[in-house]
Amino acid sequence: MKKPLLQSVLVLLLALAAGSATAQIAPKAYAPENLRTLSVQDQTRVISLEYSEQSRGRRIPDDQLRFYLDQVNRSNWTFGRIKQDIAQSLGGNNGGWNPNPPPSGGQVTCESKDNRRRECQTGFRRNAVLVQNLSGTRCVEGQNWGSGNGTVWVDRGCRGRFAEGNTGGDWGGNGGVVKCESANGAYRECRTSFRGRAVIQRNLSSTRCTENQNWGQRQGMVWVRSGCRAEFRDSGTGWGGGNSDYSVTCSSDDNRRRTCAYDARQGRPILLQQLSNNSCREGYSWGYAGNQVWVDRGCRGRFGPR
């Protein structure tokens, strides 16, 4: 073989090799705008390729891929929408996906993965409102999502975008008065700055608000449910003055409701320590009535006076 011909062949082989390597490192993603015309396998392939292309060869996180597949098949996200979301997710986060970024534009996304409860920091001074339901599961306040104390919690498959509400849940209220309302019978928590026990100043609902039935309190918080709407104020009195070492441990075995004897002379109990993986939340999975503490939904905790 003549030398010029040999050089040409070598150049061609090197070019082909370089082209092959480039194709393996960053293959070009192509897909129609309507990804629902593709099989799930092809949807997975093109979304993964698009992420790899934008992130310079990185593999898309499994939870982010699952989210995009859900949005395609449940919310009709287009390929262009996914490309835009990938670009936003990679921006300013060192190439990692942050499904719960700090509040930007006053909105936070929170997702219950595998139907598990999750809490997301919001920084909101008021209770949150649901701006957009992002899951196939309907997000219903008080059932599979709620808010308070600068957080939003989601459960049982709810994934939503939340913003700060305009009413209720104020951190302290005006003149020591906090209005808390159970809309459509839903559970609601409202932050207070009370140092003593909360009392009802004015009942705003046709439903009678009865403590430990459809409203209650714990440190820095008043909760309402089942249609109770009222204005609450600080009574100025303490929570009891019993034995500071007194406590009762109560456990909801097999997610069943259970009651445990409690000495009412010790003062109204609060949750001193959560001992279970399941959340202990007053009015939802634990409460107090008369001389008993009750627990439910897998809550196990240690209760005692403040």
Tokens 């209760």 appear where? Answer: 303
Least-confidence region, from 57-61, 105-109, 284-288: 105-109
Per-residue H/E/C for 231-262: EEEECCCCCCCCCCCCCEEEECHHHCCEEEEC
Confidence of residue 295 (pLDDT cuts 50, 70, 90): very high
Q: What is the mean pLDDT of the chain?
A: 75
Please write the tens of the pLDDT for every residue from 16-36: 554 444 444 445 567 788 888
Residue in 176, 179, 153, 177 with CA at minimum distance from that of residue 168: 179
> Among residues 169, 170, 171, which one has the least CA distance to residue 182?
169
Whether 46 and 31 have beta carbons less than 8 Å apart is answered as: yes
Residue 280 CA to residue 277 CA, distance in Å, equals 9
Question: Which pLDDT does position 166 carry in this prediction?
Answer: 52
Range name among 162-166, 171-175, 263-267, 278-282 with the lowest pLDDT average: 171-175
| Domain limits, the chain | 27-98, 107-164, 177-234, 248-305
Give the separation between CA 259 and CA 144, rounded to whole angstroms: 24
Give per-residue pLDDT as tens, 85-106: 777 666 533 334 444 444 444 6
Burial group, residue 299, by CB count within 10 angstroms (0-12, 13-18, 19+): buried
- Which carries the bigger pLDDT value, residue 43 or residue 244? 43
Q: Residues 209-247: pLDDT tens digits? A: 888 888 888 767 788 888 888 888 876 655 444 445 678
Structure confidence at residue 63 (pLDDT): 66
Beta-carbon count within 10 A of 267 CB: 19
| pTM recorded for the entire structure | 0.28
Encode 200-230: b = buried (16+ Cβ within 10 Å), e = exposed: bbeeeeebebebeebbbbbeebbbbbbbbbb
pLDDT band (50, 70, 90) for residue 198: confident
